[in-house]
């Protein structure tokens, strides 16, 4: 099991490198008062993604750990803070996340990631509205609340989110959907920029639909698409879940 887990994690890492084309290196040279708002909306959707894999909480004593990733395919057309949208292309944010089940249908989780000049960490809580069960055709729903903070060479990010997640357990997989909101504050931190210290706070909706697969040896795979300010995006998770 350990070898399989390592191999699939390496596949995820190489996939991130293959898909990610964008970089935060040109932020200081391209950011303006006008495009900062759209950059904040896009980065909020990217950071807020991939915090859940079904609508079912782990339950008391449950545990889940593994890598996750979120991606936009292209930034919003008005987000020119990294350069022209067509030139920027896709952006990926990888995470390592650990979740633990607690009493009263509550899960707690922590996460951290660093890629392409942005380092971020955070955590949150999930509350199961219904008692967690694994019966076929069982309906599950939960509320997710989380906070994240990130920093790059030229900016910092403070992010908060809330989401409602619904899922239904089926024989071979579990489909899930979610609707939520991201609150994101981006602050320019570059002494050579006239806008140094300027910040923008935005609120944006985000929607997710995905499939979760329970694999042998307690392995858990989730693949999802999302829709945020940047338009279509994607999420992936591969973890050990007990």
Direct distance between the N- and C-terminal alpha carbons of the chain, in angstroms, rounded to an integer: 14
Count of H-run helices and E-run strands, the chain: 4, 10
Q: Please count the other Cβ atoms lying within 10 Å of the Cβ belonging to residue 215.
A: 12
Alpha carbons 142 and 99: distance in angstroms, whole number: 15
CA distance 167 to 1: 27
Per-residue tens of pLDDT for the chain, all 242 residues = 555 555 555 555 555 554 555 678 889 889 999 999 999 999 999 999 999 999 999 988 899 999 999 999 989 999 999 887 666 778 899 999 999 999 999 999 999 999 888 999 999 999 999 888 878 888 999 999 999 999 999 999 999 999 999 999 998 899 999 999 999 999 999 887 888 889 999 999 999 999 999 888 889 999 999 999 999 999 999 998 88
Strand ranges inside 28-117, DSSP E: 63-72, 91-102, 106-115
Structure tokens, 130: 């219904």
Sign of the CA dihedral with 30 first, then 34, 37, and 41 last: negative
Q: Are 214 and 220 in contact (CB under 8 A)?
A: yes
Where in the chain are the domains?
Answer: 2-241
User: pTM score > 0.75 for this model?
Assistant: yes
């Amino acid at each position: 099991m350990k070898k399989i887990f390592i191999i699939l994690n390496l596949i995820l890492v190489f996939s991130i490198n293959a898909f990610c084309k964008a970089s935060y290196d040109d932020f200081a040279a391209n950011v303006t008062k006008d495009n900062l708002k759209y950059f904040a909306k896009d980065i909020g959707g990217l950071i807020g993604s991939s915090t859940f894999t079904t609508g079912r909480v782990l339950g008391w004593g449950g545990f889940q750990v593994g890598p996750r990733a979120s991606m936009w395919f292209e930034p919003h057309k008005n987000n020119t803070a990294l350069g022209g949208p067509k030139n920027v292309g896709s952006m990926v944010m990888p995470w390592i996340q650990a979740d633990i089940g607690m009493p009263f249908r509550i899960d707690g989780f922590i996460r951290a990631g660093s890629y392409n000049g942005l380092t971020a960490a955070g955590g949150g809580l999930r509350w199961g509205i219904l008692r967690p069960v694994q019966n076929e055709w069982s309906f599950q729903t939960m509320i997710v609340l989380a906070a994240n903070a990130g920093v790059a060479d030229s900016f910092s990010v403070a992010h908060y989110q809330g989401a409602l997640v619904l899922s239904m357990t089926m024989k071979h997989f579990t489909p899930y959907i979610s609707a939520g909101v991201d609150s994101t504050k981006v602050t320019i931190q570059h002494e050579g920029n006239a806008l140094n210290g300027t910040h923008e706070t935005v609120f944006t909706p985000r929607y997710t639909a995905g499939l979760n697969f329970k694999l042998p040896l307690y392995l858990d795979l989730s693949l999802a698409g999302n829709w945020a300010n940047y338009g279509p995006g994607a999420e992936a998770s591969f973890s050990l879940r007990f």
